Amino acid sequence: MKILVPVKRVVDYNVKVRVKADQSGVELANVKMAMNPFDEIAIEEAVRLKEAGVASEVVAVSCGVPACQETLRAALAIGADRAVLVTSVVELQPLAVAKILKAIVEKEAPSLVILGKQAIDDDANQVGQMLAALLDWPQATFASKVEASDGQVRVTREIDGGLETLAMPLPAVITTDLRLNEPRYATLPNIMKAKKKPLETVAGESLGVDLAPRLTTLKVVEPPSRKAGILVADVAQLVDKLKNEAQVL
Amino acid sequence: MTREVMDYDVVIVGAGPSGLSTAIRLKQLAADEGAEISVCVVEKGSEVGAHILSGAVIETRALDELLPDWQALGAPLNTPVVEDRFLLLSESGARKLPTPPQMHNEGNYIVSLGNVVRWLGEQAEALGVEIYPGFAAAELLVEDGIVRGVATGDMGVTREGEPGPNHQPGIELRAPHTVFAEGCRGSLSQSLMARFQLRVDSDPQTYGLGIKELWEVDPSVHRPGLTLHTIGWPLRADTYGGSFLYHLENHQVAVGFVVGLDYANPHLSPFEEFQRFKTHPAIRGVFEQGRRISYGARALNEGGFQSLPKLVFPGGMLVGDAAGFLNVPKIKGTHMAMKSGIVAAEALHAHRAGQGGSVVAGYPERLRQSWLWDELRGVRNIRPSFRWGLWGGLAYSALDTYVLRGRAPWTLRNHADHTALKPASACRPIDYPKPDGKISFDRLSSVFISATNHAEDQPCHLRLKDEALPMSVNRALFDAPEQRYCPAGVYEIVEDAGAARLQINAQNCLHCKTCDIKDPRQNITWTPPEGGGGPNYPNM
């Protein structure tokens, strides 16, 4: 069984994101980039399935600028076998990414696609679902446990008030939640080996899909800064403020 | 537990200017002869450049020697210095001073050293150097009195020191020669100095603490290529230090403050001196319509020539600020660090061709023949002369520079910084103004934008030799100075059930090494935390 894992290059979670002075977007110059943490969980899960003898090959795929190669190398260091980079000169929005991934799935014919549930930069939470729809495959989102066997996959999801377990026939799409696993540290020898693993580059424009952005960003602004709190004199004043100012009572 | 072993011809600790220059030069020399050499660089920062912090105005002398076509190779040296200003500040006034000859910057560039180092990393990788960021060299491998390499730290160790669920043991990186390029006050370099007695013939090293911010300023006050240095206010004349303010490209201004760590008053807070400095009437205008985008701090060497340790020992050598080549009157160390790396590589290359044993004696010999040696020797008395205060130091420096021209028949000695503190009761308390949140800030909001992070569940990397001293000595005699000299708010006295104790917020650490230097009883040892931890500086 082959598993495909899409990974996204995003601003590192340690970095305090800053809006560009002209409000056209978020500052990326000189900012540390890293793999989207949910995608790291997806890679880890795929590699564990391979180590458990369930999967035979793990292919990582990323879409975007040439620097996404670093993200793919990080995936290879965790244990993916090979990588595909789909380059694009236009800004890629979730629908375009889903279409690219559909084209890659048709070429690679994996039994399972595991994606992060969302990327920590745009928080869109769309690609996995769109991909499943475009492929007409079953999907299980926000997985906290994955068990695959005999052409079937059972996925446990954390839902309001409990756990839900779904069974799906393969091929299928899974998106990962935070508690699915804790990704391993890439070891130095594995980072070295990752440099020699195959990484294929495909021009996004050659895939015959429409990559044009559908949304236009008007402007990006920082959230308003929180106002300082006040000390109330007594309970009566508190109740009064909750009633009349905050209007929550 | 057995660790995996990887063998190289040369292992380099630290991907900064000196370590990468060594790596690049080694590869160039091998390529010239059609020979192979395997070179590995380990770096504790999460990426190359993540822990680099400097002014910086750099002189290209060493870069010209290492990569003469750096311009064609796209080196990020984009802002030539067009004007130098030097001011003496009083509380409300500013007087122009003549710029001393060492501080003339014609031909120099204002850069982000972080970006320069990232670029150097790319050059090194293109030549075949293996660079592994995110791995801290945590342990020396010494056998039969010879350094055989280093081991990287374990990953995934719990706070209690036990292997956690994701534990990964470190790797042994072994090589006939290990180059230590850890920067100022490197933790392994410190162990080496003790173990191989590298400091027996030299003065103690002395240090300064540099604190820096990067600002995006209003285009109307931006003057690309302008450098401004100040001395005087807010420091008193008995404390060595001053500011720098460099106008870079893209409406960015780098501003920083350096305080000599030989200050005596334990009430002094370098962080708050810096914050106060920015509010001076001659300075604040630059920042008024701007926004602060990054913050960081790093100790720097000030000991100069007379504090240089022995540079070679069996199986290894020290380069760059790990040894301490910074030229204090020039306020520049990058060209010296790079030069020392180049010379070390050349000596090592010649040594490997012969059958010379484990000590590369050619490195200090070649260094003594180089411009680096003359440059450092010539300015050796300037920094130590500031023991006579600002006015005495300025007077002596003028004499040394213009009359003696660095050829004084004497050498002023250095004293260890940690011995300089006077008891708190004997010193004047300092009342620092509250930060306004616009131009001056508090420590925590500053540390926040350094993007520093350490995996939570790991042993504290700031080790106390004696758990009692923080209260019995540091607090009792010196009013807990670590609360003030630490620019990251790592050290905090907290009251627990009526009893005060020292709390160490190690996750805030910026890896500046000041605590390791300034603790009055040398009770704090800085050790490398899990690799990849620490600040994530952008273009600092």
pLDDT, tens digit (0-9, with 9 covering 90-100), for A102-151: 999 999 999 999 999 999 999 999 999 999 999 999 999 999 999 988 78
In a domain, A222, yes or no: yes
Please tell me the distance in Å from B80's CA to the nearest CA on chain A.
20
Burial class (CB in 10 A: 0-12, 13-18, 19+), A21: middle
- Search chain A and give the residue with CA nearest B76: A30
In contact, A143 and A180? CB cutoff 8 Å: yes
Query: H/E element holding A29?
Result: none
Same domain? For B405 and B346 the reply is no
Reported residue count of chain A is 249
B115 touches chain A (CB under 8 A): yes
> Cis peptide leading into B56, omega within 30 of 0?
yes
A17 touches chain B (CB under 8 A): no
Q: Is B486 a catalytic residue?
A: yes
Q: Is B512 a catalytic residue?
A: yes
In a domain, A249, yes or no: no
Residue-wise pLDDT for B373-395, tens only, equals 999 999 999 999 999 999 999 99
A149 touches chain B (CB under 8 A): no
Residues of B in contact with A187 (CB under 8 A): 4, 168, 171
In a domain, A22, yes or no: yes
Residue-wise pLDDT for B116-155, tens only, equals 999 999 999 999 999 999 999 999 999 999 999 999 999 9
Count of structural domains, chain A: 1
In a domain, B418, yes or no: no
Contact A14 B251 (CB under 8 A): no
Same domain? For B58 and B134 the reply is yes
Test mutation, B115, B168, B539, chain A, max A CBs within 10 A: B168
Contacts with B333 (C-beta within 8 Å, 6 or more apart), sequence order: B54, B300, B301, B320, B321, B325, B326, B327
Q: Residue B152 maps to which CATH number?
A: 3.50.50.60
3-class DSSP assignment, residue B10: strand
Same domain? For B347 and B398 the reply is no
Q: Is B40 a catalytic residue?
A: no
Residues of A in contact with B152 (CB under 8 A): 188
* pLDDT recorded at residue A21: 86
Q: Which of B21, B22, B46, B54 is catalytic?
A: B54
Same domain? For B363 and B394 the reply is no
B251 touches chain A (CB under 8 A): yes
Test mutation, B293, B537, B540, chain A, max A CBs within 10 A: B293
Same domain? For B390 and B327 the reply is no
Same domain? For B372 and B388 the reply is no
B191 touches chain A (CB under 8 A): no
Query: Which ipTM was obtained for this model?
Result: 0.89
Q: Is B515 a catalytic residue?
A: yes
In a domain, B56, yes or no: yes
Residues of A in contact with B6 (CB under 8 A): 188-189, 192
Same domain? For B147 and B167 the reply is yes
**Apex B448 CA angle, B444 and B451, nearest 5:** 145
Count of structural domains, chain B: 2
Same domain? For B31 and B120 the reply is yes
Residue B482 has pLDDT above 90, yes or no: yes
How many CB atoms are located within 10 Å of the residue B41 CB?
29
Residues of A in contact with B156 (CB under 8 A): 185
Q: Residue A232 maps to which CATH number?
A: 3.40.50.620
Q: What is the mean pLDDT of residues A169-176?
A: 97
In a domain, B238, yes or no: no
Residues of B in contact with A188 (CB under 8 A): 4, 6, 132, 135, 152, 171
Q: Is B206 a catalytic residue?
A: no
In contact, A43 and A5? CB cutoff 8 Å: yes
Strands (E), chain A: 2-6, 9-11, 33-35, 57-64, 82-87, 112-116, 139-149, 152-159, 162-169, 172-176, 199-203
In a domain, B446, yes or no: no
What are φ and ψ of residue B515, in 5° steps?
A: -65, -40
* Residue in the block written with tokens 């042993």: B459
In contact, B134 and B46? CB cutoff 8 Å: yes
Contact A32 B536 (CB under 8 A): yes
In a domain, B160, yes or no: yes
* Closest residue to B536, CB basis, from A14, A182, A183: A14
A15 touches chain B (CB under 8 A): yes
Contact B130 A192 (CB under 8 A): yes
> Cis peptide leading into B234, omega within 30 of 0?
yes
B129 touches chain A (CB under 8 A): no
Residue-wise pLDDT for B176-234, tens only, equals 999 999 999 999 999 999 999 999 999 999 999 999 999 999 999 999 999 999 999 99
* Measured distance CA(B263)–CA(A29) in Å, rounded: 38
* Measured distance CA(B154)–CA(B534) in Å, rounded: 16
* pLDDT recorded at residue A149: 81
Residue B355 has pLDDT above 80, yes or no: no
Contact B536 A15 (CB under 8 A): yes
In the structure, what pLDDT confidence band is assigned to residue B258 with cuts at 50, 70 and 90?
Answer: very high
Same domain? For B405 and B314 the reply is no
Q: What is the mean pLDDT of residues B230-249?
A: 96
A225 touches chain B (CB under 8 A): no
In a domain, B339, yes or no: yes
Q: Which range has the worst mean pLDDT, B246-255, B299-308, B397-406, B459-468?
A: B397-406
Residue A14 has pLDDT above 70, yes or no: yes
* pLDDT recorded at residue A152: 93
* Closest residue to A30, CB basis, from B4, B166, B538: B538
Tell me the residue range of the domain where B393 lies.
383-411
Same domain? For B126 and B36 the reply is yes
Contact A188 B135 (CB under 8 A): yes
Tell me the residue range of the domain where A41 lies.
2-244
Please tell me the distance in Å from B168's CA to the nearest CA on chain A.
7
Q: Which of B118, B148, B174, B298 is catalytic?
A: B298
Supply the mean pLDDT for chain A: 95
Compute the half-sphere exposure of residue A219: CA atoms within 13 Å on the CB side of its CA. Answer: 6
* Closest residue to B168, CB basis, from A21, A30, A187: A187
Distances (CA, A) of B244 to B110, B211, B301, B342: 12, 10, 17, 28
* Residue in the block written with tokens 């290359």: B349
Residue of A27, A222, A219, A220 lying closest to B251 (CA atoms): A27
Looking at residue B453, the DSSP 8-state letter turns out to be B
In a domain, B175, yes or no: yes
